């Protein structure tokens, strides 16, 4: 991979959409009690940006992603994709979940074809499915069933299933959380490569500080539940990034401090 200059790394191709989160609050009703999860979160994400959401476990990161995906409506506030209000799910905003959630009754090819099939355009667009499978390097597994795949392969299929729709915003909900550390490192660079190639806006939820710093060019640190934005940190480093980079190490220390874990440093 060619090392890009810092200037190149922050200019984005125009494929990605702008995402605008404005004064969003959300809560759940559990056993009659109201549990606030998001408290007046505002965030403007430029087209093609790679934003990581970091926060303590259970702080509402995933809820924010569900709102972005349109799977739920916020109790207050507005979310907009390219000036259009988000009112429901749309294939331009695809989510990759922590579990690959492949459909076990469908082969790899049929799983990847899911989005095009659901939108009724599969018949004319079959080549896109093949392309997406090639993109994640699983061409020889297109007829395999999910139970025949390893965890990393399954997550690659999930990634292909998302990318086949040419999303403007790719929403990643701890997609590498359950993978072993080697597969994880390999897939981190794959995700960066795909993002650089395709130029979609990326929103990544993770609780791995290092992962956030290696992947994103902006890290949002959230507070405990109900989540508020605690810090908005720009990571001005070209890709591919090195885990041992002292600049990243310094940021990591700072972020762990924000999360109340400075003692572990």
Partner 1 sequence: MSTYSVSDAAAAPAPRAAVTLSNLSGSYGIGLAASLAWLAFGLSCLYWPDVGDWSRTDSLGIGAIVIAAFVLFGTFGADYLGGPGEALRKRAPWLVALGALFTLWEVATAKFAWLPLPFFPPPQSILEVYTDDLPKLLDSVFASVKLQLGGYIIGATIGFVTGVSIGWSQKAGYWIHPVLRFIGPLPATAWLPIAFFSFPSSWSASTFLIALATGFPVTVLTWSGVASVSSAYYDVARTLGAKPSFLVLKVAIPAALPHVFVGLFMGLGSSFAVLVVAEMIGVKAGLGWYLQWAQGWAAYANMYAALIVMSLLCSGAITLLFRTRDRLLVWQKGVVKW
Q: Write out the residues near partner 1 by the rule CB under 8 A.
A: 69-71, 89-91, 93-95, 97, 99, 101, 103-107, 114-115, 117-119, 145-147, 161, 165
For residue 265, what are its two tokens?
């440093």
| 103 versus 265: smaller Cβ distance to partner 1 | 103
Contact 218, 235 (CB under 8 A): yes
- Parallel, antiparallel, or unpaired for β 218-222 and 229-234? antiparallel
Report the nearest approach of partner 1 to the CB of residue 38 (Å): 18
Query: Which residues, other chains included, contact 74 with Cβ-Cβ below 8 Å and sequence gap of 6+?
Result: 24, 25, 26, 38, 67
Contact 205, 196 (CB under 8 A): no
Q: Rounded CA gap, 252 and 265, in Å?
A: 9
Contact 204, 52 (CB under 8 A): yes
| 85 versus 147: smaller Cβ distance to partner 1 | 147
| 93 versus 225: smaller Cβ distance to partner 1 | 93
For residue 230, what are its two tokens?
């605690």
Query: Which residues, other chains included, contact 55 with Cβ-Cβ below 8 Å and sequence gap of 6+?
Result: 61, 207, 221, 222, 223, 224, 227, 259
| 146 versus 226: smaller Cβ distance to partner 1 | 146
Report the nearest approach of partner 1 to the CB of residue 138 (Å): 17
| 75 versus 90: smaller Cβ distance to partner 1 | 90
Contact 232, 97 (CB under 8 A): no
Report the nearest approach of partner 1 to the CB of residue 109 (Å): 13
Report the nearest approach of partner 1 to the CB of residue 89 (Å): 4
| 68 versus 194: smaller Cβ distance to partner 1 | 68
Angle between the 181-198 and 151-163 helix axes, to the nearest 10 degrees? 10
Helix (H, G, I), strand (E, B) or coil at 229: strand
Report the nearest approach of partner 1 to the CB of residue 13 (Å): 23
Report the nearest approach of partner 1 to the CB of residue 95 (Å): 5
For residue 58, what are its two tokens?
């259970």
């Amino acid at each position: 991979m060619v090392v890009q200059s810092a200037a190149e790394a922050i200019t984005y191709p125009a494929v990605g959409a702008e995402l605008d989160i404005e004064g969003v609050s959300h809560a759940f009703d559990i056993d009659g009690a109201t549990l606030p999860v998001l408290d007046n979160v505002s965030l403007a994400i430029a087209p093609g940006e790679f934003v990581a959401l970091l926060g303590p476990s259970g702080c509402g990161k995933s809820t924010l992603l569900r709102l972005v995906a349109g799977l739920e409506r916020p109790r207050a506030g507005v979310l907009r994709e390219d000036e259009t209000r988000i009112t429901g799910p749309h294939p331009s905003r695809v989510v990759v979940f922590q579990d690959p959630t492949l459909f076990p009754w469908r082969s790899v090819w049929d799983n990847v074809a899911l989005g095009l099939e659901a939108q009724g355009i599969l018949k004319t667009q079959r080549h896109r499915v093949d392309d997406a499978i090639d993109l994640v390097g699983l061409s020889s597994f297109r007829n395999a069933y999910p139970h025949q795949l390893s965890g990393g392969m399954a997550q690659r299929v999930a990634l292909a299933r998302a990318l086949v729709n040419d999303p403007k915003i790719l929403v990643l909900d701890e997609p590498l959380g359950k993978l072993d550390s080697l597969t994880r490192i390999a897939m981190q660079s794959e995700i960066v490569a795909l993002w650089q190639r395709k130029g979609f806006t990326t929103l990544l939820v993770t609780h791995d500080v290092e992962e956030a710093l290696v992947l994103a060019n902006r890290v949002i640190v959230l507070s405990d539940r109900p989540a508020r934005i605690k810090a908005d940190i720009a990571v001005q480093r070209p890709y591919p990034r090195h885990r041992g980079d002292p600049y990243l190490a310094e940021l990591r220390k700072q972020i762990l401090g924000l999360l109340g874990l400075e003692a572990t440093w």
